[in-house]
Amino acid sequence: MEIASQLLPSVLEIAARAGEHLKEFYRCEVKVRTKADNTPVTEADLFLSRFLIEQLSTLSPHLPVLSEENCDIPLERRRHWPSYWLIDPIDGTRQFINRTDQFSVMISLVCAHQPLLGVIHAPILGKTYYAVQGKGAFLQTDSGLRSLTPARSAPGHLIRIAVGSSDENKIQQSLRSPYNPDFIRYGSSGLKAGLVAEGCADCYVRLGNTGEWDTAAAEVILKETGGDIFDLHFQPLSYNLRESLVNPYFVMGSAGFNWKNVFQFDSL
């Protein structure tokens, strides 16, 4: 825990430098190709992956780095890592390509299969969410630094749900009576989690594939605000315990709700 706290200032600096590189790429056209999983990757993703791996390896030479763009590492090798860096160089590559501004750099430190440190840096939006387990969660903006605290303790029946572009119907069918949704369409996974941590959304529901790098940093931040992340069986997510690095579908929920009373996912 103390090691994570000691590393945090350096990680924030690395994330900020990565964000400056990302701004440079954002000012011009970038080359895009499609990966085997049918998701896009740009030259910016690949450059930032190399940059973050280099910087984090220099910061802590004894810790491996697992990146979305360098993740073809079998479990038999990964399972022996007691601690490692888990990164998403650009969380929201589609948003980056579509120039929505709603994308981020995500860095997390995972120890004993649990994220202990998380940083989500959105350079165009000028926002950085960060947390270390047990030390609180924070949001840095151009206006200053503020602590993120549980935002809603007495929920009504309108649930503000951060979503992607195509999940609304399935989510609405999964809501128990008398709850009703107010859907908020927003950018990358990390930034939707940020809406929950800030209290701008009550939950973020993902009914599509993501990687462990999409949730680790957000999980630390969210839990430090009293929230939680769980799969559709209301079980916690895991890290570096399976051959596949693909997450199950999940909910990131804020404090103040009994989510089992809100959602019923039996039909999914």
Distances (CA, A) of 87 to 15, 160, 216: 10, 28, 9
Parallel, antiparallel, or unpaired: how do β-strands 228-231 and 250-253 relate? antiparallel
User: In the block, which residue shows the tokens 């073809």?
Assistant: 72
Q: Is 108:215 a contact under the CB 8 Å cutoff? A: no
User: In the block, which residue shows the tokens 């690095």?
Assistant: 245
Q: Is 90:101 a contact under the CB 8 Å cutoff? A: no
214 is in an annotated binding site: yes
For the chain, the residue count is: 268
Q: Is 137:221 a contact under the CB 8 Å cutoff? A: yes
Distance between CA atoms of residues 236 and 130, nearest Å: 21
Q: What is the largest CA-CA distance in the chain?
A: 53
Distances (CA, A) of 75 to 46, 80, 83, 235, 239: 23, 9, 14, 22, 11
Of 199, 267, 198, 257, the residue nearest 230 (C-alpha): 257
* Three-class secondary structure of residue 12 per DSSP: helix
87 is in an annotated binding site: no
91 is in an annotated binding site: yes
90 is in an annotated binding site: yes
CB-based contacts of 211, cutoff 8 Å, min separation 6? 68, 71, 88, 245, 246, 247
88 is in an annotated binding site: yes
92 is in an annotated binding site: yes
Please state the residue numbers annotated as binding site.
68, 88, 90-93, 214
Residues at the binding site for Mg(2+) are 68, 88, 90-91, 214
Known binding-site positions for substrate: 68, 90-93, 214
